[in-house]
Amino acid sequence: MAEASDAPRSGPARPASGGVNREQRAHATSVAAYQAFRARNHRPYVVYASIRLGADGMAESVVAEVFTDLAISWRTALASAEPAAVAWQILGRHVDDQLGRPRRPVRGRVRGIAAAREDALLLRNRMRLSSERAAEVMGLSTADFQVLVSRERRAGPVTASAPG
């Protein structure tokens, strides 16, 4: 039988000798969230970078740099509306830099949308991720992801009948 002193405390943390204060808990939670995010997204990031760069070894190196940058700015990313979108932008910039062609300008919404559409199509068509997983990797809602890939359908040939 557990004694009252063994029960988890509720309310604000009390700094005591050997105790954990609120800042330490926040840090531990942040580290755990980063580790979980990295474990969940490392593989799709490497596959994406490999496809865009055409070299597996280079992709591993680029993704290692991405996760280093993300670790440094993780608390800021967590404070954003969508941390996965922040991480995806970091990945895109690193891959673009490696290719020597900036694809994601700071300004220019149309080019930003075009790059996001290219990424969405790559995740769906080349990597064969479900819309839900691809949206998660890019830090988008599934609905926003569907809008990006639906543009492909509108731009493609129109057929008179549905496939049978």
Cβ of 109: how many Cβ atoms within 10 Å?
Answer: 8
**Dihedral sign computed on CA atoms, order 47, 49, 51, 57:** negative
Confidence band for 109, pLDDT divided at 50, 70 and 90: low
Cα distances from 109 to residues 103, 113, 151, in angstroms, run 12, 6, 16
62-105 per-position pLDDT tens digit: 999 999 999 999 999 999 999 999 999 999 999 999 998 766 55
- Over 70: is that where the pLDDT of 5 sits? no
127 contacts 48 by C-beta, under 8 angstroms: yes
Chain position carrying tokens 């990597």: 127
Which pLDDT score is estimated for 151?
A: 65
The 10s digit of each residue's pLDDT in 14-66 is: 555 556 798 888 888 899 999 999 999 999 999 999 999 997 789 999 999 99
Tell me the pTM: 0.75
d(CA 14, CA 162): 65
Res 156 pLDDT > 90: no
> Cα–Cα distances in Å, from 42 out to 3, 60, 130, 157, 161?
43, 9, 17, 36, 41
- Which stretch of DSSP H or E encloses residue 71? helix 56-72
Please give the average per-residue pLDDT across 121-126, as a whole number.
96
pLDDT, average across residues 122-126: 96
